């Protein structure tokens, strides 16, 4: 259960989440404490891979957080966002969901779950919140433009249209340095997550049910068309210069030894 309230004083930092998802401990004084905190964090909350479907409550809270960063200039120190959860597990899950499925920029935002009485509060620190908010809105506006271009199309036509846009506009980053949807959409280069996130966002903006699929160190998408899952791996197709994995049926994707081996 989530809620939003006016900010309160920080009583205790419990965990810290960052863009790289290798979280440092907040307020810890020794290496042993830091390592212990990281081990505990890994056992708390849902991983991003467990939250492939949409969570509307998290998305409402995520938009509030981004609005705060746009309106308030100073997040150089940890700030209470006024977003509260009943448990630390929920707050940590929200942080992971926010960075993986809501935030579209590349400026690093640090998110912490802090305990205050019987509630868990979300805290944020960012060296350049204005830039983070601007990057997010820039990507959002560009993808919204593409999504609106598909208005009036049927489900399959939309899914194909978005596939073709991502395929044609994003090159694979062979140096493995560009990993965000911002770099995919605005800079035109990314590893697989940029492809996956761009397609995911376009589909969800247009009302299609779409999810990421994770396997090993790779990810791709699945989208519902006429009530059935269709899979696409735009990253592999772009690298091969073909469209082998464009909206293939679930049974075909599951029968493929390469993708099956990644699951």
The pLDDT tens digits of the residues spanning 130-141 come to 999 999 999 999
151 near 108, Cβ under 8 Å?
A: no
For residue 64, the Cα-to-chain-centroid distance in whole angstroms is 16
**Secondary-structure breakdown of the chain: helix, strand, coil percentages, each rounded to the nearest 5:** 45, 20, 35
The pLDDT, as a whole number, for residue 7 is: 31
Please report the domains of the chain, with CATH numbers, ordered by start residue.
2-130 (no CATH), 150-262 (3.10.620.30)
- Cβ-Cβ contacts under 8 Å for 145 (sequence gap 6 or more): none
Assigned token pair, 155: 């489900």
Comparing 78 with 262, the larger pLDDT belongs to 78
pLDDT tens sequence across 43-91? 789 999 999 999 999 999 999 999 998 887 789 999 999 999 999 999 9
Length of the chain as a residue count? 263
pTM of the complete model:
0.86
């Amino acid at each position: 259960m989530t809620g939003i309230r006016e900010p309160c004083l920080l009583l205790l930092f419990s965990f810290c989440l960052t863009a790289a998802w290798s979280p440092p401990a907040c307020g810890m004084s020794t290496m042993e404490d830091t390592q212990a905190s990281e081990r505990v964090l890994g056992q708390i909350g849902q991983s991003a891979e467990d939250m492939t479907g949409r969570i509307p409550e998290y998305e409402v809270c995520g938009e509030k957080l981004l609005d705060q960063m746009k309106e308030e200039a100073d997040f150089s120190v940890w700030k209470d966002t006024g977003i509260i959860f009943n448990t630390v597990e929920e707050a940590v899950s929200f942080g992971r969901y926010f960075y993986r499925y809501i935030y579209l920029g590349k400026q690093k935002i640090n998110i912490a779950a802090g305990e205050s009485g019987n509630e868990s509060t979300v805290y944020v620190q960012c060296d350049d919140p204005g830039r983070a908010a601007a990057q997010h809105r820039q990507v959002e506006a560009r993808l919204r433009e593409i999504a609106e271009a598909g208005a009036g199309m049927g489900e399959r036509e939309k899914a194909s249209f978005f596939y073709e846009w991502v395929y044609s506009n994003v090159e694979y980053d062979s140096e493995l340095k560009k990993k965000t949807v911002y770099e995919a959409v605005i800079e035109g280069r990314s590893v697989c997550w940029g492809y996956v996130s761009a397609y995911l966002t376009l589909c969800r903006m247009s009302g299609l049910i779409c999810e990421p699929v994770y396997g090993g160190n790779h990810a791709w998408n699945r989208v519902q068309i006429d009530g059935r899952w269709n899979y696409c791996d735009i990253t592999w197709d772009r690298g091969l210069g073909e469209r082998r994995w464009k909206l293939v049926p679930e049974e075909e994707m599951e029968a493929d030894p390469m993708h099956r081996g990644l699951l």
